[in-house]
Amino acid sequence: MKLLAIDTSADACSVALLDGSDLSGHLRVEPRGHTRLIMPMVRQLLQEQGVAMGDLDALAFAAGPGSFTGLRIATGVIQGLAWGLDIPVVPVSSLQAVALAVAEEQDAQEGDGIAVAFDARMDEVYWGCYRLTAGLPEPLAPERVCPPEQVSLPEGPLRWLAGGSGWRYAERMPDNVVSRVASPETGMVPDARFVVRLAADAWEKGVAVPAAEAQPVYLRDEVTWKKLPGR
């Protein structure tokens, strides 16, 4: 199976290709360069790996939450490619992709909890909680957007790991959350190499949609995002 994934949901712009068991990818941190960079990065990666566009079986993208503009860029690119190639799309949660990165970075064990927070601006965070199951993060509760003071950890895991830009607000989070989390990694951003791995698992389970149904997940309405300066 050949699966191509892209991510423009945050400051980093990344692409990844899973060709059987071979994983390759590129990431660049250039917050305002996503529109200019994403397709050249796709073409470069495919050329390096000797894979033609027409060889792809499916596409994947980080569907959000994240930057409103970034999500619109990724959705437009993926829909255009999927329509042109007539192949399905696997949307992946940006929070869940970072949860997988945290699991690997912090040597998570089976059953560990992973709490991911993104800076959502406007005094809020995007919040997602997962349990490591068979090597992948599975959601423990619906992802949401809320003030840092309102985040919470579901019952279940005995050990919690954490990552994401929203953990910069840890001093505002409840004590019963912060005290249970070990050394949050605030510098982690979504990366297509983790997106493509989650997408491959979803693909095997039959989770894919046609191009028209590949939509971003904002967790916050479009009008609110348009109020953000410079976005």
Indicate whether 114 and 138 sit together in one domain: yes
Same structural domain for residues 74 and 61?
yes
CB pairs under 8 A, 24+ apart, for 149-153? Answer: 149/173, 149/174, 151/115, 151/117, 151/125, 151/127, 151/177, 152/177, 153/113, 153/115, 153/129, 153/177, 153/180, 153/181
Shared domain check, 116 and 74: no
Say which CATH number the domain at 125 has: 3.30.420.40
Q: What domain range is 145 assigned to? A: 94-179
**pLDDT tens by residue, the chain, 231 residues:** 999 999 999 999 999 999 999 999 999 998 889 999 999 999 999 999 999 999 999 999 999 999 999 999 999 999 999 999 999 999 999 999 999 999 999 999 999 999 999 999 999 999 999 999 999 999 999 999 999 999 999 999 999 999 999 999 999 999 999 999 988 999 988 999 999 999 999 999 999 999 999 999 999 874 343 333 444
89 and 114 assigned to the same domain: no
Are 88 and 94 a contacting pair, CB within 8 Å? no
Q: What is the pTM of this model?
A: 0.94
- Residue 6 · residue 79 · CB < 8 Å: no
User: Do 83 and 13 belong to one domain?
Assistant: yes
86 and 120 belong to one structural domain: no
Number of domains into which the chain is organized: 2
Give start and end residues of each alpha helix (H) in 58-167. Answer: 68-85, 94-105
Same-domain status, 63 and 112: no
* Rounded (10°) angle between helices 34-49 and 68-85: 40
